[in-house]
A and B are shown apart, each in its own frame.
Chain A
Amino acid sequence: MTAHSPNWRKGAGVAAAVMAATMLAFPPAAPARIDLVTLPGRDATMITVYNSEDITLVREQRTLSFSEGRNQIQFSWANTLIDPTSLRLEFPGSSNLTMVEAVHPPNVSDLVMCNIDATGDTVGEVEISYFISGLTWSARYHVHVNEDETAFDLQQYTTVKNDSGEDFDNTSVRVVVGEINLVEKIADLARRGILKEDAMRRVLRERAAPEALFAMDMAAMEPSTRREAREIVQQAISEYKLYTVDGEVDIRNGWGQRLPSRPIGEIPFDLSYEIDTRNAGGTPMKVYRLRNTTAHELGIDALPEGEWYVVAEDGREGLRYEGSTRHDYVPVGDDIELNLGPDGLVLFEQRLMDQKRPDIEFDNDGNPVGWTLEEVHHLEVRNTRDQTVPVKLTFNKPGSWELISSSMDAQAIDQRTLRWEMDIPATETVTIELKTLSRHGTKQGNEPPIRPMGGPQR
């Protein structure tokens, strides 16, 4: 946002987001005369970006000079989507200023005029806030794993992308985790109330323009406001989490900014493999497990949902790509499981070895109407690595069935699912023999639930 001046509007007819605040005074003695009295710039800007909806709260501070009597501040914008109904003015510390009304003039789009009464000549701070569309944020985590796969360094990033049409320089950034409810989309409000259809099409077209077409003054790049590393402070706001990024940043239209927080080193984790017969045919997946706790050098803040990008030290001062995975929001104390996909070093084979129908039931016409089916399954896990690996094996069999026996104690997850957790020594194979019984036809009904064969081993 900048003051209305012909100098800043470069390249007429090109994609230019324009927000202008023009202050006019109506001296009491001469109500018909309209004079431009100030050209206010922003003192400070803060944006609060949500990721569950396309909405960003912009709050900016300006210092304005008011003359005694009726003053008018005119806001106008173009090529950006602002909800005009959200515009608010507040005067912290200035009791002699009163907002009288906000006027949306006829036949004029993208413009709001605020009439303010001052009881005397005043230089006052004005806080202006409004909702804008087109900014998004996301979390991203870069993980550098040590060669032994026992610990990693973590760099968390907060990425803010700006396709709003507006530049935000020297801006404080806050992001919100949580699902808010909106009755109407900000973009819809902006389109309906301010922009006509053809103008909207132009906005969307211009949003796709590849470059930020005009820059604000470079004075905004004041090095003293930069941070060597940013703290990202989390606080709970109702059921949401608010993350405030330390310092100020420039977020130009058409650009994203990836802001690193302070890196965390030597986070211990457990390497394990997970096998689920419901997923990918039971292909073993390599998983890094840890917990968002102080024991894992975390536990300060909840971790927003985001992509985890994992590279590993190759032992020769180089890096090897391990994989990328998305992870849901992690509250403090909750588990983090980074599924990096198969590495082909732990193998799994599921084989049905035998079937029996020991008791077939017949109806009065002599036709088979029910039977039980006993099956023997072999679940074989081979560890071809040169180290012991923990393995979590989840076996699911559709339909209704009972467990007759398992050669290794199993944990019942639900009526169709069993789980084993085991440590498999280097180059060894574990085979679990599982006997199941299912009932068909008239034999169905009144089956006992799965009998767990014992609790989890770990």
Chain B
Amino acid sequence: MKAPLVSTLLLLAASLPVTGLARTQLVTLPERTLLITSLENAAQPLLMEERTLSLQEGTNQINFTWQNVDIHPESVELQVVGADDIRVISTGFPSRGNSLTWEVYSPRDIAQPVRVSYLLNGITQVTSYELHLGSSETEGEFRQYILISNVSGEDLVDAVIRAPFLGEIDRSLRNRESRRLLAKSVDALPLEKLFVSNPSWHHHAGEDGETISMVYELSNIASAGLGEARLPAGKIRVFATPDGDGSVFLGEDNITATAPGESASARLGVVSDVVLERSKMRDRQTNQRRNPRQQVVVFDQEIQLRYTLKNFKDEPVTIRVHERPPSGEWEATTSGHGDVRLERLSINELVVEIDLPAAVGEDPAEVVIDLDFLFRNRLQSDR
């Protein structure tokens, strides 16, 4: 039989009179006076609740039980608020079962506020983003949302929820309930629109053209209206708003967690108005060294890649091509016309950045670039 989805978190205070034999007696069933749900550690929510216990002079026994919720028993902690002479003497817990028993010593009868904190599974948060572009595509309206879902089994009634970006909000979050909350909003977030190609080193599409992706890059920095905290990983959806004609969905991507000062990139779709034809024009060995059987054992290798770029857009664009050469000793140079910059990110990644002028009338702007790689001292085993 399926267990009913009813959870209970109970605090029962029982007193053990100071003298004589005793059985536990129920004294109060204290209500929560405060419930704070901390989601600041995204992987593990921490709940802290405040209750007022009616303690009697001597040793008091407090039973804390739960059902149908997944609490980490070892994390449950009771703290006495503002009274140094009232102390938790011991914590008893059964090997199996969902309960704890505290023994709390009080030197007097008192209504004592206490805080109980514990790790509770089943409260999740998912971050998502929306970007509404202006007509210039150099800035956009940025929204960060946090979807908080409660499948813990416990109703979080009148809870204070704390999460990065959200600050502190007062909400109830019942079991199986989700709330999507606006965490951050920037009206004009600066953006960089990029045209990026990631061709395969060993495959050359030639006249078929390499895929060029449309990428928006945003920076998690203060001057952009962000930079306060790490942007969690999440899905970003990008919309464009043509003049007075409603929103158009441009695409979506998952961005990685982005620390302050770092940039996040969202690849949205394929660019059609800029074309990159990439052909291998030369692949030859030089400075060959042969063994007596005339086998080549060591050689230099020259590889020339030719980029033929066409821009059909009526505005200049910059395209970044990420080449991924094999490991080894190499250097790269370019020739041809056009403004080209090379940046070696690692031995296996070279960024070739090319500025393309705007099309003139119906004629696309065309740029031809030769990219020459010279590999030195390659062995047959390198191939």
Residues in A lying within 8 Å of B, measured CB to CB: 140, 142, 157, 161, 163, 208, 210-212, 217-219, 221, 223, 226-230, 249-250, 252, 254-260, 307, 309, 311, 314, 316, 318-323, 344-345, 347, 351-357, 360, 362, 365-368, 371, 378, 382, 384-386, 427
Contacts and interface: CB of A to CB of B under 8 A. Distances in A.
A319 B92 contact: no
B70 to A, nearest CB: 15
Interface stretch (B39-47, B149-157, B308-316): B39-47
Contacts of B105: 226-228
Nearest to B85: A228
B293 to A, nearest CB: 8
B230 A354 contact: no
B51 to A, nearest CB: 15
A352 B297 contact: no
Contacts of B88: 260
A309 B74 CA distance: 9
A219 B19 CA distance: 9
A257 B93 CA distance: 6
Contacts of B119: 321
19 contacts: A163-B95, A217-B21, A226-B89, A249-B90, A252-B92, A254-B94, A256-B92, A257-B90, A260-B88, A309-B75, A311-B46, A321-B45, A321-B46, A347-B259, A362-B297, A367-B297, A368-B297, A368-B379, A378-B346
B96 A353 contact: no
B117 to A, nearest CB: 6
Given A140-B74, A360-B377, A352 B162 contact: no
Contact of B44 (A250, A321, A371, A378): A321
Contacts of B48: 318-319
A437 B131 CA distance: 48
Given A219-B21, A254-B95, A353-B346, A142 B77 contact: yes
A252 B90 CA distance: 13
Contacts of B44: 321
Contact of B257 (A161, A249, A344): A344
A212 B96 CA distance: 10
B297 A258 contact: no
A226 to B, nearest CB: 5
Contacts of B3: none
Which are the 3 A-B pairs with shortest beta-carbon distances? A366-B291, A258-B91, A384-B259
Nearest to A259: B90
Contact of A347 (B91, B262, B344): B262
B31 interface: no
A210 B96 contact: yes
B187 interface: no
Interface in B337-383: 344-348, 376-377, 379
Nearest to A207: B95
A391 to B, nearest CB: 15
Given A210-B97, A345-B259, A321 B22 contact: no
B279 interface: no
Contacts of B74: 140, 307, 309
Given A226-B103, A260-B88, A355-B327, A366 B261 contact: no
Given A223-B58, A227-B105, A319-B46, 18 more contacts: A210-B96, A211-B97, A226-B89, A228-B87, A254-B96, A258-B92, A258-B93, A309-B74, A311-B46, A314-B38, A320-B46, A322-B41, A355-B329, A356-B377, A362-B289, A365-B292, A366-B291, A378-B346
A333 to B, nearest CB: 29
Given A351-B345, A355-B329, A320 B94 contact: no
Interface in B64-80: 74-75, 77
Given A314-B162, A355-B327, A255 B290 contact: no
Interface size bracket, B side: 35 or more
A340 to B, nearest CB: 10
A360 B299 CA distance: 11
B298 A223 contact: no
Contacts of B91: 157, 257-260
B36 interface: yes
A20 to B, nearest CB: 22
Nearest to B99: A255
Contacts of B291: 362, 365-367
Contact of B89 (A218, A227, A351): A227
A254 B291 CA distance: 78
Contacts of A352: 327, 346-348
Contacts of B36: 318-319
Contacts of A368: 297-298, 379
Contact of B93 (A256, A353, A356): A256
A142 B260 CA distance: 30
Contacts of B87: 228-229, 260
B117 A311 contact: yes
A163 B93 CA distance: 12
B16 interface: yes
B90 A260 contact: yes
Contacts of B345: 351
B250 interface: no
Contacts of A223: 16-19, 58-59
A354 B349 CA distance: 11
B328 interface: yes
Nearest to B87: A228
Contacts of B46: 311, 319-321
B203 interface: no
A353 B94 CA distance: 58
Nearest to B24: A218
B168 interface: yes
Interface in B96-116: 96-97, 103, 105
B297 A384 contact: no
Given A210-B94, A344-B257, A367-B297, A355 B21 contact: no
A161 B95 contact: yes
Contacts of B2: none
A351 B346 contact: yes
Contact of B21 (A218, A252, A356): A218
Given A210-B96, A249-B90, A320-B46, A366 B168 contact: no
Among B23, B41, B44, the most chain A Cβ lie within 10 Å of the Cβ of B41
Contacts of A311: 46, 117
A230 B262 CA distance: 49
Contacts of B162: 314, 316, 318, 320
Contact of A366 (B16, B59, B289): B289
B227 to A, nearest CB: 9
A356 B292 CA distance: 26
A355 B19 CA distance: 82
A366 B297 CA distance: 8
Contacts of B376: 356-357
A227 B89 CA distance: 6
A232 B382 CA distance: 64
A208 B261 CA distance: 54
Nearest to B378: A357
A225 to B, nearest CB: 10
A277 to B, nearest CB: 15
A228 B94 CA distance: 22
Nearest to B50: A317
Nearest to A221: B16
